Amino acid sequence: MNPRIRKNVSIIGVPMDLGADRRGVDMGPSAIRCAGLEPRLEQLGYAVRDEGDLIVRRAKAYSAVPESNLKYLYEIVRVNEELADTVSDLIVGGRFPLVLGGDHSIAIGTLAGVLRHKESLGVIWYDSHGDVNTADTSPSGNIHGMALAVAMGYGHPALTGIGGERPKVKPEHVAIVGARSLDPGERDFLKAKGVTVFTMHEVDRIGISRVMEQALEVATRGTDGVHVSFDLDGVDPKDAPGVGTPVLAGISLRESLLAMEIVSDANVVTSAEFVEVNPTLDSQNQTARAAVELITSLMGEKIL
């Protein structure tokens, strides 16, 4: 996306915390807005429209779903159905959907909406976690740890059916970047499905530049667009402390900014979301401010 070309960007807030089962992350969209996202995007030449926030009802106890261990399943499905419709409508209207979370379960709806318009979507999943659990493998039942598996068509039918009949994300078109906390079931899933995973071992060994070049090769090979799903816990907690599930020894903010700059230069991104900012765990909105820097880097901001 050339920043010199005026484009239409729509911001959609999804104040969801049910997928993480931890309060605070629902305030993430407001924190990112307060950190100055809209004026920064306008400075880059984008025509920005804030679509406001979707309504998320505080659901009753997850025990109301007796056939499953999935927490708050029905409300998460309802919100993601609405998000899928919203994202799809924005794309029809010629707008770039920029979704702000909320926990990472909202990626289910974002991707469902985008996939109505793509036959073969590439995905860069920037995250310390794999998010490929299912009800059978999840230690917690938290749906934010299942979003990528659902997007690929694996999981509870109520989740995989969000957005109706549509193509699924193909495992060979997914690149996970920054993984350093994977559950045993996730390791088995990723190996069995052939998903490309760049752990911190690869980041340390070959550097973030080469990792992102390879991630783009995966996400663009035979695809008709790339979605960036950025979990702020992919960044090291020293630079992004305000997240619900921090994992030590992560990618620095400067490296992460470079990663987004490299993706921006490829001019292939058609949608994006930034999730898991939890202001209650933050210091002076540091993590939300980092999110704004990352978003504007993805959208074409340069130092010079």
* pLDDT of amino acid 66: 64
* pLDDT of amino acid 4: 42
Considering 26, 127, 236, 261, which one is annotated as catalytic? 127
In this structure, is residue 162 part of a structural domain? yes
The reply to whether 156 belongs to the active site is no
Could you tell me the pTM of the whole model? 0.97
In this structure, is residue 100 part of a structural domain? yes
* pLDDT of amino acid 64: 52
Number of domains making up the chain: 1
Give the Cα separation of 118 and 49 in Å (integer): 23
* pLDDT of amino acid 68: 77
In this structure, is residue 303 part of a structural domain? no
Is 51:98 a contact under the CB 8 Å cutoff? no
Annotated binding site: 104, 127, 129, 131, 231, 233
| Banded model confidence at residue 65, pLDDT cuts 50, 70, 90 | low
The domain in which residue 235 lies consists of 8-298
Helix residue ranges per DSSP H, 152-199: 157-160, 184-193
Considering 144, 156, 173, 227, which one is annotated as catalytic? 144
Length of the chain: 304
The reply to whether 38 belongs to the active site is no
160-171: pLDDT as tens digits:
999 998 899 999
Domain containing residue 194: CATH number: 3.40.800.10
The reply to whether 172 belongs to the active site is no
Considering 81, 103, 233, 273, which one is annotated as catalytic? 233
The reply to whether 127 belongs to the active site is yes
Give the Cα separation of 75 and 132 in Å (integer): 20
* pLDDT of amino acid 304: 83
Considering 75, 81, 129, 282, which one is annotated as catalytic? 129
CB atoms within 10 A of CB 279: 20
Annotated binding site for Mn(2+): 104, 127, 129, 131, 231, 233
In this structure, is residue 1 part of a structural domain? no
Mean of per-residue pLDDT scores for the chain: 95
In this structure, is residue 235 part of a structural domain? yes
What is the number of alpha carbons within 13 Å of residue 11 lying toward its C-beta? Answer: 28
214-253: pLDDT as tens digits:
999 999 999 999 999 999 999 999 999 999 999 999 999 9
107-156: pLDDT as tens digits:
999 999 999 999 999 999 999 999 999 999 999 999 999 999 999 999 99
Considering 53, 81, 131, 261, which one is annotated as catalytic? 131
